[in-house]
Every structure is written in C-alpha cells, then in structure tokens.
Amino acid sequence: MALDGKSPTGPIEGRWAKRKADAKLVSPANRRKYSVIVIGTGLAGASAAASLADQGYKVKAICFHDSPRRAHSVAAQGGINAAKNYQNDNDSDFRLFYDTIKGGDFRARESNVYRLAELSANIIDQSVAFGVPFAREYGGTLANRTFGGVLVSRTFYARGQTGQQLLYGAVSNLWKNVDSGQIELLTQKDVLDIVVVDGKCRGVIVRDLRTGQLETHMAHAVVMCTGGYANVFYLSTNAMKSNVTAMWRAHRRGALLANPCFTQIHPTCIPAHSEFQSKLTLMSESLRNDGRVWAPKKAGDTRRPEQIPDEERDYYLERKYPTYGNMVPRDVASRNAKYMCDEGRGALGLRAVFLDFRDAIKRDGKHAIEEKYGNLFDMYAQITGDNPYQSPMVIYPAPHYTMGGLWVDYDLMSNIPGLFVLGEANFSDHGANRLGASALMQGLADGYFVIPYTLPHYLAGQTFAPLTADHDAAKSALNDARTRLDKMVAIKGDTSVDRFHRDLGMVMLDKCGMSRTREGLAEARTEIRRLRDEFWQRVRIPGDAKGFNPEVEKAGRVADFLEFAELMVHDAGERNESCGGHFREEYQTPDGEALRDDDNFMYVAAWEFKGVGETPALHKEPLTFEYVKPTQRSYK
Amino acid sequence: MSTGKNLRLTIEVWRQASPDQPGRFETYELDAVSADISFLEMLDQLNERLIKEGKDPVAFEHDCREGICGSCGFMINGQAHGPLRGTTVCQLHMRHFHDGERLVLEPWRAQAFPVRKDLVVDRDSFDRIMAKGGYNSTRVGNAPEANSILVGKETASKAFDAAACIACGACVAACKNGSALLFVSAKNAHLGLLPQGAPERYRRAVRMVEQMEKEGFGGCSNTLECEAACPKQISTGWIQRLTRDYIRGKTVEDTGEVAESGGG
C-alpha cells in the first residue's frame, strides 16, 4: 500500500498558506466543548498545550516528571535555527529548507521542510515575547552563531543552555493557562497505552507514578510529544527516563512507525569511562565553531596532545572537507571519528579524538572563548577533571537523536485519526540526518504554529461519540496495561532491569549504531530475541506495582525497548543503501561516504505492527523532489 | 581522564518507605567504588547490589544527569548537592571523596517538600508558585518581531543569570527557615528585567510571594546559605529586588495606583 502524506501541491512557498486557507475552523464559543490530551511537556508538548489552550480548547497536559520544566528538551545546548537573515549573509527560507533537505540526505518530505523553514522566524519572535533571554549584541539586537552543515549564521542561542531557556519560555505559557484553568496539568503519570474508539484515538491509559493507580483519560484528540528513542542504545545523551513506550504502544494499536533506523550519533560527546557509566554527556556542536578536531597522524600514538607537534597532527575534517571544515554535518563528523579510531589513531590510544581550542584561544583570547562556551567548558572539567582551556577535549560520538518516529501526514496526524504526533516523536522533517539547532526549531514549529491550525480542522470535520471511560476499548486497554504490569512484577527473577537495558544497548550500538552490515543486523535480531525472552523469565522487580516504584517504571520502558529494537534492526536490514546516519558498510562511495540508492529507496518506510517477533508489514510513502535535486551530498 | 582509583566508603542513607511512615538511617559498606564514576552511578551500583540481595533499592530522583533538569538533589553530610560549589549531585564525581570516608545522605528537609520515599521529596509547591506569576501574559501568535524591542546585552545577560535556576530545591533545603526566596526571586528577576515581562512586574511579585507563603515556605534567614548551595550560583541579590517589587506592588494595591513598569 502506498501512503499519502497529503502534502498540498503548487508552488512550495504557497503550500502552507493554501493548507491553512482550506482548513475548517471551530468557532470560539464551541472550542471549550472540545478536550485535547497532550502527552509530554518538552518543547513540542508545552508549546502545543499552550497554543491550543490559548485558542480556547480544554487541554490536559500529561508528563512523567514531577514538573513540566524537566522534560529533556531542557538539556539542548547549542541553539535554534531561524531564517531571519539578521547577519545579511544571504539566508532565506529557501536556503534553510535547502540545507535541511540536503543535510537529511534527501529522505524528508519537501513540503514539511519548507513549512518548517517558513515558520522558523516567528518562533524567535514568540520565544522572545515569553521572556527567553537570547544572547544579544551591545546594540540590543539578537546575536547569531554558525552550526554544522551550513554556510550562514542563523543560529540563535542562550549561552550553552538554549533548550533550557526555550523550554522555560514554552512552559511559562503553559503555567499561564494552568493559572486560568484552561490547562489541567497532570504530572508524574506514565502513558502506557492509547485508547482507540471506532477507529479514532480518543484517550490514554496512564499509570500514576506516586500511587501506582491506572487511570483512563478520554478526549476528542490526543497529541503525542514524547521525544525520541535513543535510549534503545542504553548509553546515549538522552535523559535516563526518555523512552519509546507511548510511541511503541501507539504502534501496537495500529500507528505506523517510520524510518526507525534513522538515528543520529552525535560527534562530540564525552567518552564512556567505565562499565558503570549511566549516560553520556554531549558537548555542543557549537564548539566546532572554534574548536579544531584532530587525531594523531601515527597509529598507536598515545602521547598527551601537548607533546604531539603540529606536523604530527591530522586535522582530518579540515583536510578532507575544506569548504565546511570542522562544520560538516554530524553524520559525516561522527563517521570520520570512527575511521580514525578504526585505523588505530585514537587520542591517547583510546577510542576518541581531540577537539582543540588552542588556536582559538591564541586568536581571540581566553575571555572571548569563555564568554561563548564557559558553561560547556565547566561541564567538561566537572566530568573529566581535565581543563579544556589548557589541553584539548577528548571526545567520541554517542547516540543523541532519532529522526525516525511515528508516521504523520502533512497535518502531523498519524494514520490513526485523532492521534497527532509532534517533535522528535514523529519522523517528518529531518530525513536520515538532522542538522544542528534544528530539533528545537521543529519542536516549537509543530507546537506553536502547525497544530493550532491542523487539529481544529480535524475536530471541525468529525462527529464524536460521547466521551466515556466505560467504553469497551478503554476498559480493555486498561486491562491490558494491568495484566502486563502484574505479569512483569510477578517474575521475581534474578537479574536487574538495568542489566537487560545495558545488554540491549551493547547489541544496538555494536550492530545497529554508526555502521551496520547485513550479517551484523541478523545477529542483532537473534540477540534481541534472546534478551527479550530472558527478560520475561528472569527480570527482578523489587516490591510491587501498587505504589511509587522506580523499578516498575524502568521495567516497562525496557520491555518496550526490547520489542522496538527488533523493528529498528529490521528497518536497517531492509534499507539496502546508506543515507545520512544510516550507514550500511556494503553501500559506500570509494571515499567512504554514504552511498544512496535513489532508484530503489527514495521512500519513507512506514511499518505496521503484526505481533511481537512477527515480520512487520511495509508501507511505502514515495518521496519526490521538485525543488532540491538529489545529488551525492558533498561537503568538500 | 581516568584516575583508575577505587574507594572504600561507608554511606548512611535515610530510608523511608512512604510519606506516612517513619524513616531511619541505614548503613551500607561499599568496598570498591571507582573514583571516576558519578555520585548517582555509585548509588546505581548500590541499588544493583540491593536488588540482587532481594532488598528494596534506594529511591532517588534523577533524569538528565548533566545538571540541567533539576530533578536530582539530596543532602550529603548536611550539604545540599554535596561539597562541590556550583554542582548538582548528578555532576558530582567520586574523585572528590577520599578512601574510607563516611557519607550521610538525607532528603531535602522542608515543610513544603514532603518526603515521598527515601531521598525523594515532592516539590509541587514550586510549580504552584510558578502558576501564579511565572509567565508573561502573552498569547501564542501575537508576538512582535524579535528585534523590534531592543534589549541591552547586559540586561539580557543578567536576565539569563536569573533564568538559569533549575528549580531543584537546594536553596530551600539549605535554609534553616526552609525559605524559597532564592527560587522565587530568580524567576521574578528573569521576567521582570526584560521589557517583555515588565508590564506585570509588580503583580507577578505579589502573586508569587503570596503563594509562596501559602505553601509553608519560611522567611529569609539572611544567612545566604541558599546562594552557597545553589548549583547554578544564583545571586541572593535578586531577593532584594523581589522585596522591592513586592512592596511596590502591595503599596499600589492599597492606594489604587496603577503599577506598571518600563523594566530594568
């Protein structure tokens, strides 16, 4: 079955305007009769909840944290893109669109990406109005910096804490609506399932994390903004509780999951120190504005960086990609770090490379570098005990972001009517690789400026059965969730949840990480199945599911990762090409770059659930490129 | 990068099954803690062992583990987030402790933060304060062009300093009065300093302070412990600003004057 993304047609600059003009409206007086559930309070969720509440809909915002401000968007460091052209360096909506399509290696939908570029400027306006203290020039205007994969300065930032400040801005508007009673905020609730009534998504099943109680919440539509699934790798830059559960449960209820193998391994992270490492910490891509990446020329050179003279250093990104230099896109930077280490040229004899600020400090002075990156340097020093002002950072790629997600049409609605998916949880805008500073842009574009137009259109076009938690579908979903929890807790085996998660992560990183092979993926599938069987026989969850029990929460998440991982590996095995972050060793150019197969794989792979361990059914959405001609990506 | 050292530690942890049950300290001996791991990874290891032994693991709050989400925090030897200045407990590494050390771990102690379990407290009171004024009353969609209102670099930078607060609650735990003034004043300053937040400057101060008092937070102890404990090193100077804003707001409430501000 070919899927239809329902993109409007005609000139690309006019498509969003056309879609809006065609959209049905709900009158202001009728809006209060509609209720909407928003899952997650990160950038996408908080902005969606606030925008819909501002319009007059009754909103329930659900998050698993104790406060909406803790969603993992808070950790985004470097910045947010917007085509403001404040630098007068020939930026435009089209150029942002072009960069994003090319950066994604021609695996995203043109219409969506153009809309993203078009909405980007207004996000900055909106965020400033909510009190986001962006970096400024002395004259009082907003400052910009450059990010990877582009040749203009369009990134807005708030020191190294841009995500935190943008999130606080969006959440402040959520609080405004809590104050006025327009939003009911439900914290510490884990969404365990969705409720589908007569083919429409009408509610969710949640577990209250304080009391352990299962609850049913019903609404006219559900907006899922639950972030990405990089924790399938166990060690990632994601927060410990970031998970795939809501997305996976929706998939099990019929929502198609698209391109799950498109994952991003971020080039600049602090390497793991020991087997007890619980997560990895990112060092913002913005550091590559001034930091130079290098590895020793000689294999097996374990000397301290200060002892390696310039002529024995290989600034390999500058050498191989003179046009973009250190600012190549993330997938290219990561892969090259891997190649250095595979050749035995890792920094200090480790699997790592250097990120060196010596020359920038010499050129601009320590003070200027401190101004730009002070908190990142402090964070690095705190974690490693080394001083990056004196010696280079030691970095290595780590799982960071997931481009894949639930399939959505142009309106951001999944194939289940009434289930909308926003932000990192959907698959839509970044293709096979996301450019830096684009995740914040997408989350807020979806929440502030897309959903307030497309969701009312959906509501206005429907007739709804009355809301009731007594519906058979709701009761059966609640029952499924309860049965599963009881079963898990009753196992009382001998192995901790974390152990399973760690083992799964090793398999995924090794076989479905930065580079993949047909054989490796087949082995991964066997390993995943073995781990999943073992989990259901040997997991040990102390206590019960009746009250506050963090081990119960973790177990449910890991159980879902163990099912999801198999789909991810399957998708990677079926996509017989390399593109962006998906690198199959069998398909590469003589220079070791990703080799796409546009004739056979220029499509979105949207998978339909057929049962755990069963082969999923493939639905293809063909991709067409009218405005950016697909070429072999070159950053040389 | 790596010290390769191992530590022997004795840790005493506050164990409390639920809010309505009494708690007590329990002692654990750890004989090979790598000096390279973080404090929370040390607790992960302890929990792994407790689960193996069929015991209840120690509950503690955490998420991002990079010092920005504000989830984590407890007392280590009486200090909120432990001995290192400007550092959340998730960013605290074991290399800052020495072999044979004894560490006492307790949850935040404050009337407005009831203990839920072990080292986890409920901080909903913070959000109820935020919902009284931690925002600009602007609707999505009606923002002016971002550069149409200029904001000086210094002002933006000061607003950022205040906005860096992560709402972890260390300030409250460190204060002998259990005061939330550092938290409230940081939010008040962040928004009030910027021209976009100026129209509600005084109303915001009054509403947030009134909610703070309702939640059972104490008054300022004037010991500045809060600033010393704050992982984001928020300045107590903001408390003076909040006091001024609050008084101005209350005064005009009483006299019927209009209280609006041009910011700054």
Which one is predicted more confidently, A324 or A274? A324
The two beta strands, A257-258 and A603-608, are: antiparallel
By percentage, how much of chain A surpasses pLDDT 90?
Answer: 92
Any chain B CB within 8 A of the CB of A51? yes
Q: A266-400 sits in which CATH class?
A: alpha beta
- Return the structure tokens found at A248: 């996976």
pLDDT over 90 at A457, yes or no: yes
Cβ contact (<8 Å) for A547 and B68?
A: no
Residues 268-287 of A with CB under 8 A from B: 273-274, 276-279, 281-282
Q: How confident is the model at residue B193 (pLDDT cuts 50, 70, 90)?
A: very high
| Cα A27 to Cα A19: distance, rounded to the nearest angstrom | 19
Q: What is the DSSP track for A261-283?
A: T-EEEEEEEPPP-STT-----B-
pLDDT in tens, B21-58: 999 999 999 999 999 999 999 999 999 999 999 999 99
Largest CA distance in chain B: 67
Q: How confident is the model at residue B264 (pLDDT cuts 50, 70, 90)?
A: very low
pLDDT in tens, A302-321: 999 999 999 999 999 999 99
CB-CB: which of A54, A70, A383 is closest to B139? A54
Residue of B nearest to A347 (CA): B1
User: Sheet of A200-208: strands edge to edge?
Assistant: A189-197, A200-208, A214-218
> Mean pLDDT over all residues of chain A?
96
For residue A18, what pLDDT is reported? 98
Cβ-Cβ contacts under 8 Å, B194 against chain A: 131, 133
Cβ contact (<8 Å) for B138 and A543?
A: no
pLDDT over 80 at A1, yes or no: no
Q: How far is A551 from chain B (nearest CA, A)?
A: 9
Cα-based torsion angle of the residue sequence B25, B30, B34, B38 in order, rounded to the nearest 10 degrees: -20
| Cα B7 to Cα B39: distance, rounded to the nearest angstrom | 12
Q: How far is A598 from chain B (nearest CA, A)?
A: 39
Which residues in chain B are classed under CATH 1.10.1060.10?
A: 123-141+149-255
Number of H helices, E strands in chain A: 18, 19
pLDDT over 80 at A379, yes or no: yes
Cβ contact (<8 Å) for A122 and B156?
A: no
H or E segment and range at residue A197: strand A189-197
Q: What is the mean pLDDT of residues A369-397?
A: 91
Residues 34-53 of B with CB under 8 A from A: 34, 36-38, 40-41, 44-45, 47-48, 50-52
Q: How far is A437 from chain B (nearest CA, A)?
A: 18
Provide the β-strand partners of residue B14. Answer: B25
| Cα B36 to Cα A214: distance, rounded to the nearest angstrom | 40
The two beta strands, B75-76 and B102-106, are: antiparallel
pLDDT in tens, A6-46: 999 999 999 999 999 999 999 999 999 999 999 999 999 99
| Cα A201 to Cα A450: distance, rounded to the nearest angstrom | 19
Cβ-Cβ contacts under 8 Å, A240 against chain B: 62-65
CB B210 within 8 A of CB B128: no
Tally of CB atoms within 10 A around A460: 14
H-helix segments, A10-109: 15-22, 28-31, 43-55, 93-103
Any chain B CB within 8 A of the CB of A374? no
Q: How far is A543 from chain B (nearest CA, A)?
A: 7
Q: How large is the ipTM?
A: 0.97
Please, what is the end-to-end C-alpha distance for chain A in angstroms?
39
CA-to-CA separations, A322 to A222, A316, A327, A634, A636, in angstroms, rounded: 47, 10, 10, 11, 6
| 8-state DSSP, A311 | G
Phi, psi of A254 (to 5 degrees): 120, -10
Is the domain covering B6-117 a CATH 3.40.50.300 domain?
Answer: no
CB-CB: which of B55, B140, B145 is closest to A50? B140
B86: which residues sit within 8 A by CB, 6+ positions away? A378, B230, B231, B232, B233
| Cα A155 to Cα A79: distance, rounded to the nearest angstrom | 6
For residue A35, what pLDDT is reported? 98
Q: Which of A98-107, B2-11, B62-71 has the lowest mean pLDDT?
A: B2-11
pLDDT over 80 at B261, yes or no: no
For residue B120, what pLDDT is reported? 98
Q: How far is B223 from chain A (nearest CA, A)?
A: 27
pLDDT over 60 at A446, yes or no: yes
Q: Which of A49-53, A199-203, A374-378, B117-121 has the lowest mean pLDDT?
A: A374-378
| 8-state DSSP, A433 | S
pLDDT in tens, A548-573: 999 999 999 999 999 999 999 999 99
Cβ-Cβ contacts under 8 Å, B65 against chain A: 239-240, 278-279, 281
Any chain B CB within 8 A of the CB of A159? yes
Q: In chain A, what are the domain boundaries?
A: 266-400, 472-595
H-helix segments, chain B: 39-52, 124-130, 153-163, 170-174, 181-193, 201-214, 225-229, 237-255
Any chain B CB within 8 A of the CB of A590? no
Q: What is the mean pLDDT of residues B69-77?
A: 98
| Cα B231 to Cα B73: distance, rounded to the nearest angstrom | 10
CB A155 within 8 A of CB A147: yes
Number of inter-chain CB pairs under 8 A, A vs B: 221
Cβ contact (<8 Å) for A131 and B190?
A: yes
Cβ contact (<8 Å) for B141 and A241?
A: no
Residue with token string 């060196």: A356
Tally of CB atoms within 10 A around A330: 27
Q: What is the mean pLDDT of residues A580-608?
A: 96
Cβ contact (<8 Å) for A138 and B54?
A: no
Q: How far is B255 from chain A (nearest CA, A)?
A: 26
pLDDT in tens, A169-200: 999 999 999 999 999 999 999 999 999 999 99
**What is the CATH architecture assignment of A472-595?**
Up-down Bundle (1.20)
Provide the β-strand partners of residue A36. Answer: A59, A221
Cβ contact (<8 Å) for A385 and B95?
A: yes
Cβ-Cβ contacts under 8 Å, A179 against chain B: 131-132, 135
Cβ-Cβ contacts under 8 Å, B159 against chain A: 131, 133
Any chain B CB within 8 A of the CB of A20? no
**CA angle, B191 as apex, B187 and B192 as ends, to 5°?**
105
Q: How confident is the model at residue A271 (pLDDT cuts 50, 70, 90)?
A: very high
pLDDT in tens, A150-166: 999 999 999 889 999 99
| Cα A387 to Cα A382: distance, rounded to the nearest angstrom | 9
Cβ contact (<8 Å) for A496 and B51?
A: yes
For residue A285, what pLDDT is reported? 86
For residue A137, what pLDDT is reported? 96
Q: How confident is the model at residue A635 (pLDDT cuts 50, 70, 90)?
A: confident
Q: What is the mean pLDDT of residues A578-598?
A: 95
Cβ contact (<8 Å) for A278 and B63?
A: no
Cβ contact (<8 Å) for B37 and A273?
A: yes
Q: What is the mean pLDDT of residues B110-131?
A: 97
Residues 136-195 of B with CB under 8 A from A: 136-147, 149-153, 156-157, 159-160, 163-164, 166-167, 190-191, 194
Tally of CB atoms within 10 A around A300: 10
Q: How far is A72 from chain B (nearest CA, A)?
A: 7
pLDDT over 70 at A385, yes or no: yes
Any chain A CB within 8 A of the CB of B30? no
CB A201 within 8 A of CB A473: no
Residues 529-568 of A with CB under 8 A from B: 540, 542-543, 547-548, 550-551
Any chain B CB within 8 A of the CB of A179? yes
Residues 63-122 of A with CB under 8 A from B: 65-70, 72, 74-75, 84, 86, 122
Cβ contact (<8 Å) for A133 and B163?
A: yes
Q: How confident is the model at residue B1 (pLDDT cuts 50, 70, 90)?
A: low
Mutate to test the interface with A, among B135, B196, B234 (most CBs of A within 10 A): B135
> Mean pLDDT over all residues of chain B?
95
For residue A78, what pLDDT is reported? 83
**What is the CATH architecture assignment of B123-141+149-255?**
Orthogonal Bundle (1.10)
Q: How confident is the model at residue A375 (pLDDT cuts 50, 70, 90)?
A: confident
| Cα A194 to Cα A39: distance, rounded to the nearest angstrom | 11
Amino acid at residue number B7:
L
